[in-house]
Structure 1
Amino acid sequence: MCIGQVGNLLPHVTLSANLAQHLMPAWGLSAAEGGLMASGYAFGYMLAVPLLTTLTDRIDARLVLLWGSIASGLATVAFGMFAQGFWSGTAIWSMAGLGFVGAYMPGLKALTDRLPAGDTSRAVTLYTSSFSVGVGLSFLVAQIIADRCGWRTAFVVTGFGPVAMVVACLLMQAQRPAPKVGRLLDFVPVFANREALGYILGYGAHCFELYGIRTWLVGFWTFVIAHQGAPSWLSPVVMSFCFAVISMPASILGNEAALKIGRHRAITMVMIASACVALVIGFNATAPAGVLALLLLAYGLTVPADSGALTAGMSAAAVSEHRGATLALHSTVGFGLSALGAWGTGVALDAAGGPQSARGWLLVFIVLAVGIAVGPLALLWARMVRLEKRPS
């Protein structure tokens, strides 16, 4: 499943990896337009996830995963072949995000449905943290192929990545879920589960920050090279790949810390640290490239370190009969705020002077810091509600 997910993620940041260097100059896009086009992926995901993920409570999640993987790959190839500007690019990339709905959270459902009874925290964390490996490879492959063969070829090649998950689905043993009654899109039991809701809202703050920095990481490092210079080996390809890949051990270690000192405490510490690192980067956007590289690597550790603990906490808090609906709301909130993060940071960049302005990048990192700082408040709210309900 983890290998299949890495394949499914090969197209994931192909647009972000080529946005600042290729697509924006080719199509004459502003940062706000570029951010909005990138957010189309998360927006398409957000629209379809309530239906497709809750559907896994009624049919084998393997089937949703299979067809979602196929749709995601085909849409990515279509972007490389047919996208001609902002509107067509946004529409096709939104379709890729819609396909990814079936290619991510249903995979988590298919995995947990086939695990033996007991604590699944480490298995869930391994699956979610392999997300980072896939994103790192997506950054790497998309940029290398675009530089050598053009950005259209990069989309076509990465669009074949989901074949790995298609193979995994075909090898997976079929399951028949227990019959369910009631409405398909019934989120009332999920909203009543305050513990799970706290993790879901925290995940939304995490996704806002994560998608915001992933959208503009290559653009920021391009700014650093243009204004401060950097060794030839410290290219945007190298920085984006390292930033993404170190997310996997960060997420695993974050979850291990959560198991030892408590999820709420560990997640809160990570989120506060991440906000602080973002502010330090923003206020030092004109520092030497070596200093900024170290700061970005530190940010690459703090940004994903709460991911596994948040998803594992949500999964543990979910009522088994409504796990698909809980996963659906988890993804809806997460990718909805992902779309806002990509677009909002682009608007901030334009408002403060554009991609060539240090003030623009300062405002981007301030927006990211404010976004992740909402997470601890959501967890505190959920904890207070739970304490109020305890018998005295």
Structure 2
Amino acid sequence: MTRVAGKLSPTQVVALLCVAEVLSMTGFATYPALLPTLRAEWGLNNSQAGLISGIFFAGYMAATPILVGLTDRIDTRRIYLFATLLACVGSLGFALFAQGLVSAMIFQALVGAGLAGTYMPGLRLLTEHFRGAVPSRGVAFYTATFGLGTTGSLLLAGALQPFGWQWVFLAAALGPMIAGPLVFISFPPSPPAPSGAPPGLLFDFRPVFRNRPAMGYILGYAAHCWELFGLRSWLPAFFAFSLGLSATQGGFWFGAAALAAWINLIGPAASIFGNEAAVRRGRKPVVLTVMAASGILACLVGFSAPLPIIIVFILMAIYFLLVMGDSAALTAGLVAAAEPGRKGASLALHSLMGFGAGFLAPLAFGLVLDLAGGSESVIAWGLAYASLGAWSLFGVAWMLARRRRSARVV
């Protein structure tokens, strides 16, 4: 039976880190939930609004090589605690000082940097406190909890929005304020395990690039994040547009932010079941099938905006299930493929490339929206969503072409 170091059982380790993940993410979706309000209040165009969404992931990218890479060198708990402080300061700063594009970008970047030091370091805490092989199921539950954190953030924003957007950001600062001390106190010190390989330079990812199995999962994760974070960043605004076309008043439970929250709530189940399917049928076939299906549906969902909201919701729910279907399988595959002594570097590059795509996707979505006719055009929304599925379809086509070439060589 798999045992875990310290007093916590394996189940308790997974549960505690999942709770901490939800708490650390209370500021994750605050800006996307408030995007229509802040876009109007600050006079932003769609490209600028998308840039603020994307800069969250730029902050994540800038912090990832340092905060995640350092888990190969120092106690991961200390990194986690520092990162929750960054997230807290970012939300507080947004509430108290944000007045437009530049100031909002600064504080969004801080919140993103905070996530960089909690998400993958939290995964490392999970894996390093098991003796023996880490069950992919534990990894799947942890990565799936990202969807619960997103849902909680959206619901918090929707509930407090009537009191003013500043209060939403103030409340969002409380989650990471609790998560950091919770993790630091609950886990014993975790100095990096000694390995035969020298640690090398902090930003030296060359050994990871040479690990072809690991790089396959990393590139797949980048395509996944392009689709996922572009979708998440603009989902409340899309629902607001669709509700406006039918002059529907959803109220709190069925307003734009709430509909986006319910969509995100089903993500964890898709991620977990996708990982189970990958374990039974093989990761590569499952990942390729899911990516192809999500890419095709991405080309269709944006054009559904004029339909009754229940149909729009169902189509978007199916699309989100497909997008999330390969999430845990990709990350569990990377953990399994990472070389001993380079797990931190592998997770850092995995996260860096994934969230790098997450930075570009909301901006690209906003640019397509502006160029194709603006946020009041159904065609523009349809093309913007199609831009999210493009990389998944390209990745599937490239992998299938590689397989055909390999078969010819044999």
Give TM-score scaled by structure 1 length. Answer: 0.94
Which amino acid in 2 is paired with 1:251?
S
Instruction: Output the CA distance in 1 between the equivalents of 2:266 and 2:58.
Output: 26
Task: Report the CA distance between 1:99 and its aligned residue.
Answer: 2.1
Q: Give 1:18's aligned residue.
A: 34
Instruction: Output the CA distance in 1 between the equivalents of 2:138 and 2:178.
Output: 20
Structure 2 alignment gaps of length 5 or more = 1-16
Which amino acid in 2 is paired with 1:48?
A
Question: Which residue, out of 186, 198, 208, partners 1:190?
Answer: 208
Question: Which residue, out of 216, 220, 233, partners 2:238?
Answer: 220
Q: Give 1:6's aligned residue.
A: 22
- Map residues 353-368 of structure 1 onto 2, 5 A cutoff: 353-368=373-388
Instruction: Output the CA distance in 1 between the equivalents of 2:328 and 2:268.
Output: 9
Q: Give 2:286's aligned residue.
A: 266
Which amino acid in 2 is paired with 1:214?
R
**Does the 8 Å contact 2:68/2:348 carry over to 1?**
yes
Cα distance, 1:374–1:320 mapped onto 2, change above 3 Å: farther
Alpha-carbon displacement from aligned partner over 1:335-373 (angstroms, at most 9, x marks no partner): 110011010000011111111110110111110121322
Alpha-carbon displacement from aligned partner over 1:55-74 (angstroms, at most 9, x marks no partner): 10111211111111121112
- Map residues 124-203 of structure 1 onto 2, 5 A cutoff: 124-146=139-161, 148-166=162-180, 167-179=182-194, 180-203=198-221
Instruction: Output the CA distance in 2 between the equivalents of 1:128 and 1:251.
Output: 8
Residue correspondences, number? 388
**Does the 8 Å contact 2:218/2:350 carry over to 1?**
yes
* 222-231 or 236-245, which deviates more: 222-231
Task: Report the CA distance between 1:7 and its aligned residue.
Answer: 0.3
Question: Which residue, out of 48, 61, 64, partners 2:76?
Answer: 61
Q: Give 1:298's aligned residue.
A: 318
Cα distance, 1:109–1:381 mapped onto 2, change above 3 Å: farther
Cα distance, 1:117–1:57 mapped onto 2, change above 3 Å: same
Question: Which residue, out of 205, 223, 241, partners 2:223?
Answer: 205
SS state at 2:325 partner = coil
Question: Which residue, out of 52, 56, 59, partners 2:67?
Answer: 52
Alpha-carbon displacement from aligned partner over 1:47-92 (angstroms, at most 9, x marks no partner): 1211221110111211111111121112111111110100111111
Structure 1 alignment gaps of length 5 or more = none
Question: Which residue, out of 348, 355, 377, partners 2:368?
Answer: 348
**Does the 8 Å contact 1:202/1:379 carry over to 2?**
no
Which amino acid in 2 is paired with 1:206?
H
Task: Report the CA distance between 1:94 and its aligned residue.
Answer: 0.9
Question: Which residue, out of 87, 102, 120, partners 1:87?
Answer: 102
Cα distance, 1:68–1:266 mapped onto 2, change above 3 Å: same
Instruction: Output the CA distance in 1 between the equivalents of 2:383 and 2:111.
Output: 29
Give TM-score scaled by structure 2 length. Answer: 0.90
Instruction: Output the CA distance in 2 between the equivalents of 1:51 and 1:386.
Output: 38
* 79-88 or 364-373, which deviates more: 364-373
Instruction: Output the CA distance in 2 between the equivalents of 1:292 and 1:157.
Output: 31
Cα distance, 1:200–1:385 mapped onto 2, change above 3 Å: farther
Which amino acid in 2 is paired with 1:10?
T
Alpha-carbon displacement from aligned partner over 1:203-232 (angstroms, at most 9, x marks no partner): 001111111111111111111111124463
Q: Give 2:6's aligned residue.
A: none
Q: Give 1:281's aligned residue.
A: 301
Q: Give 1:110's aligned residue.
A: 125
Task: Report the CA distance between 1:276 and its aligned residue.
Answer: 2.0
**Does the 8 Å contact 1:76/1:158 carry over to 2?**
yes
Which amino acid in 2 is paired with 1:194?
R
Alpha-carbon displacement from aligned partner over 1:143-186 (angstroms, at most 9, x marks no partner): 2211x211111011011111332112222111221355422222
- Map residues 303-322 of structure 1 onto 2, 5 A cutoff: 303-322=323-342
Task: Report the CA distance between 1:188 and its aligned residue.
Answer: 1.1
**Does the 8 Å contact 1:56/1:106 carry over to 2?**
yes
Task: Report the CA distance between 1:282 and its aligned residue.
Answer: 2.5
**Does the 8 Å contact 2:54/2:363 carry over to 1?**
yes
* 304-313 or 231-240, which deviates more: 231-240
SS state at 1:118 partner = coil
Task: Report the CA distance between 1:387 and its aligned residue.
Answer: 9.2
Instruction: Output the CA distance in 1 between the equivalents of 2:78 and 2:315.
Output: 42
Instruction: Output the CA distance in 2 between the equivalents of 1:81 and 1:44.
Output: 20
Instruction: Output the CA distance in 2 between the equivalents of 1:153 and 1:378.
Output: 47
Cα distance, 1:383–1:330 mapped onto 2, change above 3 Å: farther
Instruction: Output the CA distance in 2 between the equivalents of 1:189 and 1:77.
Output: 39
Q: CA RMSD in A?
A: 2.0
- Map residues 250-261 of structure 1 onto 2, 5 A cutoff: 250-261=270-281
Cα distance, 1:184–1:275 mapped onto 2, change above 3 Å: same
Cα distance, 1:386–1:169 mapped onto 2, change above 3 Å: farther
Instruction: Output the CA distance in 2 between the equivalents of 1:222 and 1:169.
Output: 40
Matched, 1:326 2:342: no
Task: Report the CA distance between 1:385 and its aligned residue.
Answer: 10
